[in-house]
Amino acid sequence: MTSETSANSASHEHTEPPAGRSPHTFQVDLRGLVDLLSHHLYSSPRVYLRELLQNAVDAITARRAEQPEAPAQVRLHADGGRLRVEDSGIGLTETDVHNLLATIGRSSKRAGAEGLASARADFLGQFGIGLLACFVVAAEIRVVSRSARTPASPPVEWCARDDGSYTVRTLPDSARPEPGTTVHLTARPGSGDWLTEERV
């Protein structure tokens, strides 16, 4: 079991995480932000898929701006309350992942939906807001990414839960041999229908 810290927890107890995995905490009230997304910013839970596809297209566009011959592929696989969206885009380093989360924190300090919308002017901010939209239907989001800018860097995994906790770790090369990003969603209770093949 992974040891994680929660943004909504008042406890100061600390347990050591497994080797290679460090606990971090969102600097936002994630439950409140998910409520804002689902009840005030987005008209339907189905918007999570639009956000993921837009992130994938943006990542591919960013990579092809630097590597015009790079592949342009987006794959979706839905199965039993789980969804996988894979792209051949620019990818992320571990530093990028931490910056992504910091961008989420900065955008949340602005006022409501206007602040969230203004964060979309930045690529990492857009990626971050798109991931938050997934919490409308997902209890857990797992991202595995490898940067096209620094292909020698190992793949990085970001795993986040709807309680406001997340972990980051590097993975062996075999986890993501080529640049790009794969997002894995696990449905939250009562939302499994949104991740079925038919609905997707």
| DSSP code per residue over 18-53 | PTT-EEEE-SS-HHHHHHHIIIII-SSTTHHHHHHH
At residue 195, the pLDDT reads 92
pLDDT in tens, 155-186: 999 988 877 778 899 999 999 999 999 999 99
Sorted by where each begins, the domain ranges of the chain are 22-195
Q: What is the DSSP letter of 171?
A: -
Residue owning tokens 């960013």: 62
User: Across-strand partners of 77?
Assistant: 84
pLDDT in tens, 85-106: 999 999 999 888 877 755 554 4
Burial 158-197 (b: 16+ CB within 10 A, else e): bbbbbbbbbbbbeeeeeebeebbbbbbbbbbeebeebbee
Class of domain 22-195: alpha beta
Whole-prediction pTM: 0.73
pLDDT in tens, 127-157: 556 677 888 889 999 999 999 999 899 999 9
